[in-house]
């Protein structure tokens, strides 16, 4: 690990405590102190519990349990439907509070995020954390737990140690005493399946994992094994990246033409280049998208944007440029053009993306099935990085679409 | 024209005929409804030029009098107001009268409406079908065929032919097929006719069939179906339903249906349906409502739904048998639920031929109905 030259960092992990249930209790005070569950379909006994309050958890009520089952464990259980719009709104306010402290805030989901407060040298981290926690509770009436640590992994583990309303410091020197005795299943990044595999080689606690040889874990779990081994020993180099969430919203490229043109061949050539750039950016971010937007600015500065929803997620330059040209032809007024742009939005991470196969064309995909299977197996063994670098070097990211557009003239 | 009619009979016919009337039509008079009184009864007509419906109310039926004081004649009424007027009149009897200036008076109890009518002569006459290609089938069976296939038509105009249901005959079998290219529904029945059928294959707009299904009563009475090159007619005792057919070649679908299987699952239909329904609860937030199915040991099937922002759900269902290769496959929860509901059998057989290939759902020991679903590829 090349962390010799790095300054020690201070990372906070903020984790909202049973967020949906807490928001409901904040909005409806009569629910406070009562066993409460949020479920998809409360009327039906077979609805699934999405989250529950601490009062309900005391009875053994758990997430993904059926409403019927939960009612048996806790007859006085109150059940409400989720109101995702409201949760998103509270989440927005939460991150706004965090950003008042520093710009280095990385939301990871609706109810948790990391902050890098290394540069706030004048603030004592535990004091700052407690202040934040009180402020969030005062403003939003929802409790949270905060972990304070030198990296993301330890901060995440620390925020789990005391709930609700805990503030826990986890220093590197605390690891053997505070982290290692915990069951390995409690480690962030270890799911049920990994835990099962680890059990077979007699790894039961995080300490067991930390004290094994790295190659042994790598053999068992592939690259994930090495990663877990490093984490268990307190190493995690991941940065707090405030753009991690925003950068997924859209990816685009645009260019001002050398001179105003009404030449179709010039337009097509430009779209091909832009599509190539967009493909590169999407591949680097590991996303695919379904919505295509083109921008046309004419020589009289009039600018139009046109959008098309594609049939499937894509990051292929061929599809992007073909659809862009098609869309362009539908809307071009034949006037000379000054600037062209392509933006892909409705992005999803490649590993979460899906493609509905088509009865008349599936053979093309199915033929490659053995190949996909092999890729999957290799990914499991060596990590998803294996298949990244075979293409030519990707162009560096310069400016966002919007910035290109503003700098256009 | 003049007659006094029982409100309930009139209301029912008006509602049926309204299914064909659109406020947006190229021919203005088609926004109206034609009323035609003869000594036998009253006929109502509506059309949007794709679908035309005639409903006949006999003056007397099985000894019950529906219509009295008939003075023959005809008129076209504004369909925008007429149905609401009939619905809201105070009395059980409605009297409708038109004078030579095409003014129409509707009386019921103490209420009296005056509407401007239009000349019935200007209403286009419905085409008369001249065809030898006719056959009969029970109404409830026709409704079943529509319900089991109609949901799978395409709602997108990118391939217009797929917005219809393909109806074809082979020897004495009649087959309905619909596909939106992501799933396919097919139902075959044997028509118990003496003569062999020699009907042209046609594609009926999905919308026509769904409107027809709403109008037809669930009875065993027979419906006569007549087919020409570009139109199809469904006729019951008092109803005449004419639809335009879709032009173009329907894709050859029979060769797309796999006839081998690598993994075969026999399972209780309702249990699978409910489990997919639950998994879809947490899959709805992800854009495509995709759930994952895994075969496990001891006849266990795992169904999994996941939305990164919300959470995930995993459930095991016990199958009756699982034969063949291990399988992990993802598909649209909606397509699976539609298919299982359409099949409506207690136990189903699902035949998979790989994670990227269509899979087939049929009742056990019944090849007359099949549902095909294309899986979803996860990256």
Q: Shortest CB distance from A50 goes to which of B290, B310, B355? A: B310
Q: Domain range spanning residue A349?
A: 244-407
A263 and A385 part of one domain: yes
Question: Is residue B342 packed enough to be buried (19+ CB in 10 Å), middle (13-18) or exposed (0-12)?
Answer: buried
For chain B, say whether A68 makes contact (Cβ under 8 Å).
no
Burial profile B80-115: b = 16 or more Cβ within 10 angstroms, e = fewer: eebbebbeebeeeebbbbbeeeeebebbbeeeebeb
A278: in domain: yes
Contact A73, A56 (CB under 8 A): no
Domain with residue A32: its CATH number is 3.40.1170.60
B184: nearest CA partner in chain A: A359
Minimum distance, in Å, between the CA of residue A140 and any CA atom of chain B:
20
Per the annotation, binding residues of A for Mg(2+) are 15, 111
> Cβ separation of B374 and A348 shorter than 8 Å?
no
pLDDT of residue A307: 86
Considering the domain architecture, whether residues A351 and A373 belong to the same structural domain is answered as yes
Which pair of tokens denotes residue A75? 């007859």
Binary contact (B378, A354; C-beta < 8 A): yes
Which of A35, A63, A83 corresponds to the end of one domain?
Answer: A83
A309 touches chain B (CB under 8 A): no
Q: pLDDT by residue (tens digit) across B136-191? A: 899 999 999 999 999 999 987 778 899 999 999 887 889 999 999 999 999 999 88
d(CA A216, CA A226): 9
At residue A384, the pLDDT reads 53
Counting the structural domains of chain A, the total is 4
C-alpha distances out from residue B299 to A177, B296, B319, B324, B375, Å: 45, 6, 5, 11, 21
A61 and A139 in a single domain? The answer is no
> Which of A258, A326, A247 has the alpha carbon at shortest distance from A294?
A326
* A51 lies within 8 A of chain B by CB: yes
Whether the pLDDT of residue B206 is over 60: the answer is: yes
Residues of A in contact with B313 (CB under 8 A): 48, 64
Contact A179, A157 (CB under 8 A): yes
Distance between CA atoms of residues A298 and A337, nearest Å: 4
Measure the CA–CA gap between B50 and B207, rounded to whole angstroms: 10
Cα–Cα distance list, B192 to B174, B201, B232, B365, B370 (Å): 10, 19, 21, 21, 21
Would an 8 Å CB–CB cutoff place A85 in contact with chain B?
no
Average pLDDT over residues B3-23: 94
Q: Is A354's Cβ below 8 Å from some Cβ in B?
A: yes
- Listed ranges A122-126, B121-125, B347-351; the one with the highest mean pLDDT: B347-351
CB-based contact, A310 to chain B, within 8 Å: no
Shortest CA distance from A373: residue in chain B? B355
Q: Which residues contact B14 (CB under 8 A, 6 or more apart)?
A: B33, B44, B82, B83, B86
Average pLDDT over residues B193-204: 78
Q: Domains of chain B (ranges plus CATH)? A: 2-122 (3.10.150.10), 131-254 (3.10.150.10), 257-373 (3.70.10.10)
Q: What is the mean pLDDT of residues B6-30?
A: 91
How high is the pLDDT of residue A401? 31
Residue matched to tokens 């201070």: A10
Measured between beta carbons, the chain B residues lying within 8 angstroms of A354 are: 286, 288, 290, 330, 376-379
User: Phi and psi dihedrals of B173, rounded to 5?
Assistant: -90, 145
Asked which of A83, A100, A131 is the last residue of a domain, the reply is A83
List the single residue in A40, A357, A365 with the smallest CB-CB distance to B281: A40
Mean of pLDDT values over B127-137: 80
Same structural domain for residues A64 and A122? no
Spatial contact of A106 and A245, defined as CB atoms under 8 Å apart: yes
What the block records as the tokens of B49 is 């030029």
Residues A133 and A8 in one domain: yes
Residues A347 and A365 in one domain: yes
Is A71 in the same domain as A90? no
Please check whether residues A282 and A268 belong to one and the same domain: yes
- Same domain, residue pair A255 and A359: yes
Q: Which residues of A are catalytic?
A: 112
Residue B287: per-residue pLDDT: 58
pLDDT along chain A (409 residues), means of 10: 61 93 92 88 71 90 84 90 85 91 87 91 89 94 95 95 92 94 92 87 94 90 87 91 66 87 91 93 84 90 84 86 91 91 84 80 78 68 52 35 28
Other C-beta atoms lying within 10 Å of the C-beta of residue B157: 8
A103: domain CATH number is 3.30.70.270
Q: According to the model, what pLDDT value does residue A394 have?
A: 36
CATH (domain of A382) = 3.30.1490.100
- A 10 A CB-CB count for B243 gives 23
CATH for A211: 1.10.150
- Chain A nearest-CA residue for B289: A354
For the stretch A198-256, pLDDT in tens is: 999 999 999 999 999 988 998 888 778 889 999 999 999 888 887 666 545 688 898 88
CA distance A307 to chain B (A): 17
In a domain, A49, yes or no: yes
Q: How far apart are CA B190 and CA A68, in angstroms?
A: 45
Measured CA angle at B350 (ends B305, B160), to 5 deg: 80
- Residue A202, in any domain of the structure: yes
Distances (CA, A) of A49 to A57, A84, B94, B307, B308: 12, 14, 56, 14, 16
Residue B361 three-state SS = strand
Which pLDDT value is given to residue B171?
A: 78
Shared domain check, A148 and A68: no
A179 occurs within a structural domain? no
Say whether the ipTM exceeds 0.90.
no
Predicted pLDDT of residue A2: 42
Say if residue A132 is in the same domain as residue A109.
yes
The answer to whether A37 and A70 are in contact (CB under 8 A) is: yes
DSSP state of A177: I
Nearest Cα neighbor of A175 from A238, A114, A232 is A232
**pLDDT of the residue at B173:** 87
Q: What is the pLDDT of residues B276-316, one digit of tens each?
A: 999 888 776 555 688 999 999 999 999 998 876 677 889 99
Domain end position, chosen among A139, A174, A209? A174
């Amino acid at each position: 690990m090349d962390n010799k030259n790095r300054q020690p960092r201070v990372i906070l992990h903020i984790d909202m405590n049973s967020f949906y249930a807490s928001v409901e209790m904040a909005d409806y005070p009569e629910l406070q102190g009562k066993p409460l569950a949020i479920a998809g379909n409360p009327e039906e006994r077979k609805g699934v519990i999405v989250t529950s309050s601490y009062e309900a958890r005391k009875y053994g009520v758990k997430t993904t349990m059926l409403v019927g089952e939960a009612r048996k464990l806790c007859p006085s259980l109150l059940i409400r439907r989720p109101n995702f719009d409201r949760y998103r709104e509270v989440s927005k306010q939460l991150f706004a509070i965090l950003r008042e402290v520093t710009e280095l805030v990385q939301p990871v989901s609706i109810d948790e995020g990391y902050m890098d407060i290394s540069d706030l040298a004048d603030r004592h981290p535990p004091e700052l954390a407690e202040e934040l926690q009180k402020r969030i509770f005062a403003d939003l009436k929802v409790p949270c737990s905060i972990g304070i640590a030198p990296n993301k992994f330890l901060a995440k583990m620390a925020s789990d140690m005391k709930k609700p309303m805990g503030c826990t410091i986890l220093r590197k020197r605390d690891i053997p005493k505070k982290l290692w005795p915990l069951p390995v299943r409690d480690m962030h990044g270890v799911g049920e399946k990994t835990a099962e595999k680890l059990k077979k080689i007699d790894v039961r606690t995080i300490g067991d994992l930390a004290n094994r040889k790295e190659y042994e874990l790598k053999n068992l779990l592939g690259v994930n094994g090495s990663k877990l081994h490093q984490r268990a020993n307190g190493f995690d180099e991941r940065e707090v990246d405030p753009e991690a969430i925003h950068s997924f919203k859209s990816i685009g490229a645009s260019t001002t033409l050398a001179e105003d043109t009404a030449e179709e061949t010039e337009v097509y050539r430009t779209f091909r280049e832009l599509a190539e750039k967009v493909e590169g950016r999407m591949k680097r971010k590991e996303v695919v998208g379904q919505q295509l937007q083109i921008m046309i600015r004419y020589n009289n500065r009039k600018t139009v944007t046109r959008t098309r929803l594609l049939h499937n997620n894509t990051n292929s330059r061929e599809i992007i440029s073909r659809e862009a040209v098609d869309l362009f032809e539908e809307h071009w007024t034949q006037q000379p053009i000054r600037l062209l742009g392509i933006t892909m939005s409705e992005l999803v991470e490649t590993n979460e993306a899906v493609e509905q196969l088509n009865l008349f064309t599936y053979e093309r995909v199915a033929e490659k099935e053995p190949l996909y299977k092999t890729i999957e197996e290799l990914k499991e063994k060596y990590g998803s990085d294996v298949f990244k670098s075979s293409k030519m070097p990707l162009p560096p990211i310069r400016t966002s679409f919007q910035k290109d557009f503003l700098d256009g003239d | 024209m003049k007659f006094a009619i029982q409100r309930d009979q009139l209301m029912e016919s008006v509602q049926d005929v309204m299914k064909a009337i659109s406020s947006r039509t190229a021919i203005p008079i088609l926004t109206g409804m034609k009323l035609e009184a003869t000594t036998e009864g009253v006929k109502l007509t509506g059309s949007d030029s794709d679908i035309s419906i005639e409903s006949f109310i006999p003056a007397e039926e099985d000894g019950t009098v529906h219509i009295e004081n008939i003075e023959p004649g005809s008129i076209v009424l504004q369909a925008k107001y007429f149905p609401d007027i009939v619905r809201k009149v105070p009395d059980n009897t409605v009297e409708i009268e038109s004078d030579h200036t095409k003014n129409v008076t509707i009386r019921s109890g103490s209420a009296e409406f005056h509407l401007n009518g239009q000349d019935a002569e200007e209403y286009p006459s419905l085409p008369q079908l001249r065809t030898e290609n006719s056959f009969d089938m029970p109404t409830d069976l026709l409704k079943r065929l529509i319900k089991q296939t109609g949901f799978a038509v395409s709602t997108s105009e990118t391939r217009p032919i797929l917005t219809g249901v393909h109806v074809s005959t082979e020897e004495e079998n009649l087959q309905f097929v619909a596909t939106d290219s992501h799933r396919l529904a097919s139902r075959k029945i044997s028509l118990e006719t003496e003569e062999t059928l020699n009907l042209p294959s046609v594609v009926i707009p999905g919308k026509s069939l769904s409107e027809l299904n709403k109008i037809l009563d669930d009875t065993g009475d027979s419906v006569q179906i007549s087919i020409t090159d570009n139109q199809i007619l469904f006729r019951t005792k008092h109803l005449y339903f004419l639809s335009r057919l879709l032009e173009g070649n329907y894709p050859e679908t029979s060769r797309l249906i796999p006839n081998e299987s690598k993994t075969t699952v026999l399972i209780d239909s309702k249990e699978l349906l409910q489990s997919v329904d639950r998994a879809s609860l947490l899959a709805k937030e992800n854009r495509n409502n995709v759930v994952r199915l895994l075969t496990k040991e001891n006849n266990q099937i795992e169904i999994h739904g996941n939305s990164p922002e919300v959470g995930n759900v995993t459930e095991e269902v016990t199958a009756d048998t699982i034969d063949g290769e291990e399988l992990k496959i993802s598909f649209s929860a909606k397509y699976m639920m539609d298919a299982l509901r359409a099949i409506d059998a207690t136990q189903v057989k699902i035949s998979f031929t790989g994670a990227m290939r269509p899979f087939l759902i049929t009742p056990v020991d019944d090849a007359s109905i099949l549902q095909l679903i294309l899986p979803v590829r996860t990256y």
